[in-house]
């Protein structure tokens, strides 16, 4: 029988299947004529394609759950294939409460669940549920509730409804070993921030005592500064004795008398106590940073030895940068369909903010700030590496075209991340195109000179 163009509603699902089953093979049934209620339910259909026809079968076994996660409570809504609410309840956040919620979800046949990425409160929930069902972690910005409909129960229903209609896309959640590496990497970056904070506090304490050596050294981490600081903490405050610990280059640049005046200060017993405690804090932070980096390198060599070595072929990337990249992105680039997807996830892509044909803003988007920070550091190192593409690109853009140096570093960071995606997805080492072209050019010039010499003879 030919396929009839009739208006079918959600109540006639069995009739739809019957019509499709009896349809002639030469007929191509479509859903273009279906009414809005059926279009909503069309997300729960499985489409089987043949050579000349399509057969649409309803997925009656699909049961989804929406979770609204908070610090002290979790709101659960279980929804069936027909958008009927099967179960709603509120649970606590303690481990027994999570296990009870997990038991209820399995009892109602939940196969998929979605939750918002609320701070770190989603992590225990994910750990409890990830082995028994398909989970999606959703950016709250992408499933924002309509105005006037904001409540915890309605949020859980809204998440379940969006999941049922396939309107939400899950965020990237790496495998457990990469999550452990992330914890170590972000701990290292937090310790680096603590180092900066305590170094500034230490220098401020010295400035209060009239000690001004930081005005004449490049950084408070220099050997001269550290040597003088250790001597002061040990009780040596004589400017002549402290002057002997300063590097000769600093003395030649600024003059002995001026540096000696900077080393002259008045230190009370209380000042020495404060300086000693700040120095001990810095030493402890340095020790913890080294230990975390050592453990991070061990995990990389144990689980991802080839990607770890491969990433270090990029100019500007060494041990610290390679471990940080693997910890933040993992090594499975199938999670990112294209290199542009990885760049957008990191937050190195210009935002698309156009109104009336004019760009209102081209700032980079929000993304993984930890990965973006390490890539910017790599970009600065790569732009200072001789005979490589990135240094040549930086020279052309900043010196020749007079562009902003900071913006060029963001562009280099994006290029490095694109190279990382191709290297990890294709399992290839980094090949410097600029260096390769320079070698070909030198080879060609040598052949031309050799040919000219033969012709001259």
pLDDT at 408: 87
Regarding whether 430 and 311 lie in a shared domain, the answer is yes
The token pair at 49 is 């394609």
Contact 136, 170 (CB under 8 A): yes
Give domain status of residue 24, yes or no.
yes
Give domain status of residue 286, yes or no.
no
- What sign does the dihedral 429-432-433-436 (CA atoms) show? negative
Contact 324, 183 (CB under 8 A): no
CB count, 10 Å around CB of 32?
A: 7
Contact 303, 180 (CB under 8 A): no
Report how far apart, in Å, the C-alpha atoms of 188 and of each of 171, 251, 285, 302, 381 are: 24, 35, 9, 20, 20
pLDDT at 407: 86
Q: What φ, ψ does residue 360 adopt, rounded to 5°?
A: -80, -35
Give domain status of residue 453, yes or no.
no
**pLDDT tens digits for 157-166?**
889 988 888 8
Q: How far apart are CA 309 and CA 293, in angstroms?
A: 16
216 DSSP 8-state letter:
T
Regarding whether 92 and 74 lie in a shared domain, the answer is yes
pLDDT at 326: 94
DSSP per residue over 154-195, as a string?
HHHHHHHHHHHTT---PPP---HHHHHHHHHHHHHHHHHHHH
Q: How far apart are CA 388 and CA 316, in angstroms?
A: 10
Regarding whether 135 and 76 lie in a shared domain, the answer is yes
Regarding whether 72 and 24 lie in a shared domain, the answer is no
The token pair at 323 is 């471990």
What is the SS3 assignment for 8? coil
Q: How far apart are CA 365 and CA 345, in angstroms?
A: 9
Give domain status of residue 346, yes or no.
yes
Regarding whether 108 and 129 lie in a shared domain, the answer is yes
Give domain status of residue 157, yes or no.
yes
What per-residue string of b and e applies to 226-253 under the rule 16 or more CB within 10 Å gives b?
eebbebbbeeebeeeebbebbeeebbee
pLDDT at 26: 43
Regarding whether 421 and 342 lie in a shared domain, the answer is yes
Q: How far apart are CA 375 and CA 424, in angstroms?
A: 16
pLDDT at 399: 81
- Of 138, 164, 190, the position where a domain reaches its end is 164
- Of 34, 58, 82, the position where a domain reaches its end is 58
Regarding whether 426 and 370 lie in a shared domain, the answer is yes
CB count, 10 Å around CB of 456?
A: 6
| CATH code of the domain in which 118 resides | 3.30.420.140
Regarding whether 423 and 311 lie in a shared domain, the answer is yes
- Structurally, the chain folds into a number of domains equal to 3
pLDDT at 36: 40
Give domain status of residue 249, yes or no.
no
| Residue whose token pair is 């490589």 | 388
- Of 164, 180, 205, the position where a domain reaches its end is 164
Regarding whether 378 and 332 lie in a shared domain, the answer is yes
Contact 185, 328 (CB under 8 A): yes
Regarding whether 132 and 76 lie in a shared domain, the answer is yes
The token pair at 319 is 């041990």
Give domain status of residue 188, yes or no.
no
Regarding whether 94 and 37 lie in a shared domain, the answer is no
Segments in the chain below pLDDT 50: 1-11, 23-43, 46-49, 51-57
**pLDDT tens digits for 37-89?**
343 344 455 444 454 444 444 566 788 999 999 999 999 999 988 888 888 99
Q: How far apart are CA 331 and CA 279, in angstroms?
A: 39
Strand pairing of 353-355 and 358-361?
antiparallel
4 DSSP 8-state letter:
P
Contact 375, 418 (CB under 8 A): no
**H helix or E strand, kind and range, residue 48:** strand 45-49
Average pLDDT value for the chain = 82
The token pair at 47 is 């489409």
pLDDT at 17: 52
Domain coverage including residue 91: 64-164
Q: How far apart are CA 265 and CA 228, in angstroms?
A: 12
Give domain status of residue 33, yes or no.
yes
Regarding whether 36 and 98 lie in a shared domain, the answer is no
């Amino acid at each position: 029988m030919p396929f009839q163009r009739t208006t079918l509603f959600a109540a006639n699902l069995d009739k739809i299947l019957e019509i499709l089953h009896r349809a002639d093979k030469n007929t191509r049934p479509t859903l273009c004529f279906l009414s809005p209620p059926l279009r909503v339910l069309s997300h729960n259909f499985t489409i089987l394609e043949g050579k000349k026809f399509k057969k649409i079968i309803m997925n009656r076994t699909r049961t989804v759950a929406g979770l609204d996660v908070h610090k002290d409570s979790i709101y659960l809504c279980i929804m069936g294939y027909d958008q009927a609410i099967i179960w709603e309840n509120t649970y606590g956040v303690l481990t027994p409460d999570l296990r009870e919620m997990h038991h209820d979800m399995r009892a109602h046949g939940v196969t998929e669940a979605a939750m918002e990425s609320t701070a770190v409160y989603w992590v225990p929930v994910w750990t409890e549920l990830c082995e028994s069902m398909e989970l999606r972690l959703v950016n709250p910005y992408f499933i924002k509730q309509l105005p006037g409909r904001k409540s915890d129960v309605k949020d859980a229903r809204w998440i379940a409804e969006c999941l049922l209609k396939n309107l939400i896309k899950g965020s990237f959640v790496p495998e457990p070993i990469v999550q452990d590496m992330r914890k170590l990497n972000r701990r290292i970056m937090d310790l680096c921030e603590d180092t900066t904070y305590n170094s500034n506090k230490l220098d401020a304490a010295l400035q209060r005592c009239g000690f001004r050596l930081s005005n004449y050294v490049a950084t408070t981490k220099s050997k001269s500064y550290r040597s003088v600081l250790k001597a002061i903490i040990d009780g040596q405050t004589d400017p002549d004795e402290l002057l002997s610990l300063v590097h000769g280059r600093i003395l030649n640049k600024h003059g002995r008398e001026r540096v000696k005046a900077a080393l002259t200060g008045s230190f009370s017993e209380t000042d020495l106590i404060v300086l000693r405690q700040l120095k001990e804090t810095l030493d402890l932070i340095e020790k913890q940073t080294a230990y975390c980096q050592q453990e991070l390198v061990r995990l990389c060599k144990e689980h991802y030895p080839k990607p770890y070595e491969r990433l270090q072929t990029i100019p500007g990337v060494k041990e610290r940068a390679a471990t940080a990249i693997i910890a933040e992105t993992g090594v499975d680039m199938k999670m990112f369909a294209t290199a542009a997807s990885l760049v957008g996830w990191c937050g190195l892509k210009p935002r698309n903010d156009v109104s009336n044909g004019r760009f209102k803003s081209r700032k980079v988007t929000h993304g993984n700030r930890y990965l973006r920070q390490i890539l910017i550091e790599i970009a600065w190192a790569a732009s200072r590496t001789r005979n490589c593409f990135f240094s040549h690109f930086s020279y052309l853009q900043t010196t020749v075209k007079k562009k902003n140096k900071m913006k060029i570093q963001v562009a280099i960071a994006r290029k490095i991340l694109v190279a990382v995606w191709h290297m990890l997805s294709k399992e290839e080492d980094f090949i410097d195109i600029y260096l390769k072209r320079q070698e070909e050019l030198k080879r060609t010039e040598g052949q031309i000179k050799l040919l000219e010499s033969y012709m001259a003879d």
